[in-house]
Structure 1
Amino acid sequence: MSNPFFLLFISILSGLLLGKIQFKNFKLGASGTLFAGLFFGWLFPLFINSQKELINIQNTLNTFFNFSLILFVSSIGLIASRDIKKILKTHGFKFIILGFLITFSGFISTLLFTYFTNLNNLNLLGVFSGSMTSSPGLASALESIKEGSADIIYGYTVGYIPGVLAVIFSIYFIPIIFKININKEKESYKFESIDNSKDYNFNFISFSIVIILGILIGNLNLNLKFASLKLGNTGGILLSSLFLGSLGKIGNLSFEFNKNILKVFQNLGLVIFLSSIGLRSGYKVISNFNRESLYLMVISFVCAIFSILVGYIIGKYIFKLDWIILAGAITGGMTSTPGLGAALDSTKSELVTAGYGATYPFALLGMVIFNKLFSILTNL
């Protein structure tokens, strides 16, 4: 229990076995690793006597978390880059609208709870970013508030898991509730998607350039009039992989990679990412559970579900988007990497990554704007 590698892989093994259990048309799939991680994350600190050793384990888990994000986001960006031009050309401004609309829905629903509850507004500000599973949103919230950062972080930590669960459950249950035939939709896109059958080599030099450029972009501070925006590793690597992947080649450097290898990276990154979330959060979420944290968790879940439903209704019935593309757009609007993993798992189509990549940047900008508005409207 003191070995972080053992904790990681026992969580992955248990979670994947849990994910195979099927109830009618529903199963957790790769998302089972999140729940296994939560359990072992609660369990392992009980066996650790030294605070220093506990901190060392947590630091290693943080490294797993960050490395898995790099693997997952770069691979989905490079896969999505093959279709994103065609998706954007076909659907135009719909993804921009969805990105802002979904984050606005989360903002307005969280803001309403400041008027109808006696909860700490700083906690609710953190819950907003937690319900949207947005680390850049948390950074923006912390930047706009000089005092009370601990309360914001607490709200984010408590709200994050319900936000993740809301996206995962929605992605699996919406097709069941609304009787969406995913296989039929996949057939309609079968001949529209760019041919990915070419067996490209995997160039680690090009792949490293994608990562390095993404980290550099992610660490740039973009000073806007209302706030400064920092994309972080996730946003930066997503943009670099989409950009370089869509270019294909620069001189002798090829950014066209073997899709099967990218899928291996994607799946490996996803299960490590979900497991490490659970391992990092399990003890705090389960052991510190009380009435106030319960309220915040319920609020986070409600706000996330509301945002998802708004995105689904507008996307499906007004923009007429098929579920495969819309599932990616919703998870992009929620800035939810675990949600994208659930969408990939439930649809078995990489086209969802194009919807995710097209919506994510605008949702990220929306999180910065609405965090600032939240602090202004609540006089924080």
Structure 2
Amino acid sequence: MQAFLGNNPLLALLIILLLGLALGHISVRGISLGTSGVLFVALVLGHLQVSIPDGLGSFGLILFVYSVGLGAGPGFFRAFVSQGKNFAKLSFVIVTTGGLTASFFVAVFGLPAPVAAGLFAGALTSTPGLAAATEAVVSSGGKADAVTVAYGLAYPFGVIGVVLAVQLLPRLMRVDLDALSKSLETGSKAPPIEQILVSVRNPAILGKSLTDISALTSANCQVTRVLKGERLVPLTSQYRFAEGDVVLMITDGKSAEYIVPLLGERTQRSIVVDSDRERAQVVITSTAFVGKTLRELHLRTRYGVTISRIQRHGMFFVPNSENRFQPGDLVVAVGPQEGLSSFIAEAGHRERVLHETDLASLAGALVFGVIIGLTPIGLPGGGVFKLGLAGGPLLAGLLFGHFGRLGRLNGYLPPAARLLMGDIGLVLFLAHSGVAAGGSAMAVLAKHGWSLFLMGAAITIVPLFAGLFAATKWMKLDLLRTLGGICGGMTSTPAIGALTSRTDSSLPVMSYAAAYPVALILMGLFAQIMISALT
């Protein structure tokens, strides 16, 4: 069998993926290896001298890190503003503490830098960290076997340790998460979106346009149509309020309380709305629109179009004039057919295209990322630095994820396509890394012993408690947000799953989502820095 697989590397790859993913699906008390199961199977078969096709590991690495950057791009840059600053700081504390702990073992125990970098990535369960460390070692002319073996040793405790911590800490700190959740989230749920017909009765607004009424522009409210006969038609930029007009208002419950009396009174009418031709769901991808407020874009003047709702991260809300478009926003636009056509052509594309993948743009973006990675960057003193195949596509993904489009290249990928691409790239990279390292796994263990496991455990525990201290004592965060932020900073998806099974609060998930992309990027950077500085 061993000889047969040795002569059929493609079949060997498929068997590694099959067995590894099957192993990853085995769950013990809600904990599983996930895609990292591929790495462990590949290590075993690599030890048996099984090989897989050349080049697939590098290709998988490119796909994986680009997917990571694309998904992290919007959240990564937003994490440095407003409330996200705390979780960016928390990620920095956790990743830095982990890196310093690994560096301590290098300085005190003489641990080789590649081994320390592998422990660092495994202890924080960061595959991007493994990818960056592997690429850095290979770029410097070394072999990445030790990185992969160390990662495999530290990874199990990295998963289990954080899962146990987020479940035990509330008990040790005597905090009832459900009671805390109720006290923090009382009244915090978003009010439902309403469609209200309003009869204009207020003399103070007669003859005024929508933009003349400051309360309208600042509220989460959009007046989109006016009744003509029995038919509601889209408003134009020339519209002025007139006595007895019946207008359609899209708003949330809170805004309706004071906007309806400002205009007049609620009314009930039999109406006709041509929703097929006068309304469109549009995905925002154009750089001319991304980052701009509704006030700055003058959509009603330019196109006769009103944005009645925006869907972002799966949630609909009614915008006000200061809301900014983000790449991938799904907006409901109301207006005449010709105006909608012009708006769609310039702003992005219709929703149905949301599920289509622009393969030409994807290929162009990957080429762009590889070129970035291979471009030498001059350093003070005459040195040269390259981002490599891990850093270049990652940076390209961040840029496309944030801006949505660069030139003619459309960076948007449907979420399902992005996740599939990332998973395929990840398992190809893990299979290659495991097979390549399998032959030397026992040699690494014989040289450094099982003390590597204890060092890996320390690199998990020290950053975890450093993050706990920083969040609760320095940033004054409550325990729900703290634990969610720690899960994100430790890049531990199993831990956030365990935490959400203990509470119905959305706060841990929001904190996790803010900290996670920052930690992903920092892990890759620190892993490369460790190899460069300590080798």
Check whether TM > 0.5. yes
Question: Between the two proteins, what is the percent identity of the paired residues?
Answer: 21
CA distance in 1, matches of 2:159, 2:519: 18
2:59 paired with 1:87? no
Q: Which amino acid aligns with 1:77?
A: G
Q: 1:153 to 1:273 in 2, by over 3 A?
A: closer
Amino acid at match of 2:387: L
Judged with a 3 Å threshold, the aligned counterparts in structure 2 of structure 1 residues 107 and 167 are, in CA distance, closer, same or farther, namely same
Letter of the 1:233 counterpart? L
**Bigger radius of gyration among the two:** 2
**For 1:320-352, what per-residue CA distance to the aligned partner results, in whole angstroms no more than 9, with x for missing partners?**
455555434334xxxxxxx77x68998998996
Tell me what 1:19 maps to. 24
Q: What SS class does the counterpart of residue 83 from structure 1 fall into?
A: helix
Structure 2 residue identity aligned to 1:249 = R
Do 1:69 and 1:273's aligned partners in 2 also have CA atoms closer than 8 Å?
yes
Report the counterpart of residue 153 of structure 2 in structure 1: 162
8 Å CA contact 1:131, 1:303 repeated in 2: no
Q: Which residue of 1 aligns with 2:518?
A: 358
Counterpart of 1:335 in structure 2 is none
2:95 aligns to what? 102
Q: 1:280 aligns with which of 419, 436, 444?
A: 436
Query: Which of residues 468, 472, 495 is equivalent to 1:313?
Result: 468
The aligned residue for residue 207 of structure 1 is 362
- What is the match of residue 194 of structure 1? 313
Q: Which has the higher helix share?
A: 1
1:124 aligns with 2:124: no
Q: Aligned partners of 1:281, 1:190: CA distance in 2, in Å? A: 50
* Aligned counterpart in structure 2 of residue 330 of structure 1, from 485, 490, 510: 490
Q: Is 1:219 equivalent to 2:379 in the alignment?
A: no
> Number of paired residues?
340
The answer to whether the 8 A contact 1:171-1:346 is kept is: no
Distance 2:378 2:410 in 1: 33
Structure 2 equivalent of residue 36 of structure 1: 41
1:325 to 1:272, Cα distance in 2 relative to 1, 3 A? farther
Matched, 1:111 2:104: yes
- Matched with 2:396 is 240
Q: Following the alignment from structure 2 to structure 1, what is the Cα–Cα distance between the partners of residues 65 and 138?
A: 24
Give 1:293 shift: 2.6
8 A contact 2:44–2:438 mirrored in 1: yes
- Structure 1 residues 26 and 168, CA, compared in 2 at 3 Å: closer, same or farther? closer
TM-score where L is the length of structure 2: 0.52
Local SS of the residue matching 2:80:
helix
TM-score (norm 1): 0.70
Change (3 A) 1:179 1:276: farther
| Shift in CA distance, 161/288, structure 1 to aligned 2, threshold 3 Å | same
Q: Is there any run of 5+ residues in structure 1 with no aligned partner, and where? A: 46-53, 332-338, 376-380
CA RMSD, 1 decimal: 4.2
**Counterpart amino acid of residue 131 in structure 1:** L
Superposed displacement of residue 237, structure 1 = 0.9
Q: Partner letter of residue 91 of structure 1?
A: G
**Equivalents in 1 of 2:119, 2:471: separation in Å?**
22
Q: Quick one: higher RCO (CA 8 Å, sep 6+), 1 or 2?
A: 1
Shift of 1:281: 1.7
* Alignment deviations for residues 114-168 of structure 1 (CA, whole Å, 9 cap, x no partner): 43x4xxx3x5333222223456557768999xxxx87x96754553332444544
**Whole-Å separation in 2 of the counterparts to 1:312 and 1:272:** 33
CA distance in 2, matches of 1:260, 1:365: 27
What residue identity is the alignment partner of 1:74? Y
Question: What is the match of residue 10 of structure 1?
Answer: 15
Q: Please say if residues 343 and 352 of structure 1, whose CA atoms lie closer than 8 Å, have aligned partners that are also in contact.
A: no
**Which residue of 48, 62, 68 corresponds with 2:60?**
68
Question: Are the equivalent residues in 1 in contact too, given 2:90–2:471 (CA < 8 A)?
Answer: no
Distance in 1, Cα, partners of 2:152 & 2:459: 11
CA distance in 1, matches of 2:153, 2:100: 16
Residue pair 2:373, 2:386 contacting (<8 A) in 1 also: yes
| Structure 1 residue matching 2:432: 3-state secondary structure | helix
Q: Secondary structure at the match of 1:236?
A: helix
> What one-letter code is carried by the residue in structure 2 that aligns with 1:194?
H
**Would the aligned equivalents of 2:91 and 2:485 in 1 still touch at CA under 8 Å?**
no
Q: Write the distance in 2 (CA, Å) between the matches of 1:347 and 1:283.
A: 38
User: Any stretches of 5+ residues in structure 2 without a counterpart?
Assistant: 122-128, 172-176, 191-310, 315-328, 331-350, 501-508
